[in-house]
Structure 1
Amino acid sequence: MHVTRDQVRALLDPAGRDHSLVLLEGRTEVVPTGGLTSPRYAGAVEVVAGRDLVDALGSSGAPAEEDLDALAARLDAEITALGA
């Protein structure tokens, strides 16, 4: 599993606030948070909601590409810590 810069960017986008990064069948995906209870996402583990990620970062403007990479690496580390 690998969190990508594009996935982090999608979560930080205003439309991404209603999405979550999840682990599903050995991969990471950005999916609509409201759909997590649907059968399509049965067994998915939510790593972070876009809204929570935006709130944690504050309103310091759009992050640089290096910042997106650093966030992706941090999320990868959190997933590894979960034992996934």
Structure 2
Amino acid sequence: MTEPQTITIDHVHALLQQPSDDAVLGLVEGRVEAIDPDQLATDDYRGALEVISRRDLAERLGDDPTDEALAEQAGALTASVQQLGG
């Protein structure tokens, strides 16, 4: 089982599957979630720590990223969150 703040390849995939470039990967009460931009203003997601947007993630990964690239990005994002004390 992963730590709550650990970003996995599944989280990265979930963000890339979001239809909006403004969707974000966020931390909500210690959970990692891909969040639609319309949800960010709702009570359930207010105060979420936004880790990365779909747009920024896609720019980092380019077209048709490998599983290795997705895993590397998940690790880098996890490290960033841990440095923030997420």
Paired position in structure 1 for 2:70: 68
Structure 1 unaligned blocks of 5 or more: none
* Identity score, percent: 38
Structure 2 unaligned blocks of 5 or more: none
Pairwise CA distance, 1:23: 0.6
Task: Say whether 1:43 aligns with 2:47.
Answer: yes
TM-score w.r.t. length of structure 1: 0.83
Cα RMSD, aligned residues only = 1.7
Paired position in structure 1 for 2:56: 52
Pairwise CA distance, 1:26: 1.0
How many residues in Structure 1 have an aligned counterpart in Structure 2?
Answer: 82
Work out the CA distance in 2 between the residues paired with 1:7 and 1:19. 12
Pairwise CA distance, 1:45: 0.9
Letter of the structure 2 residue corresponding to residue 69 of structure 1: A
Pairwise CA distance, 1:54: 1.4
TM-score w.r.t. length of structure 2: 0.81
Pairwise CA distance, 1:18: 3.6
Paired position in structure 2 for 1:9: 13
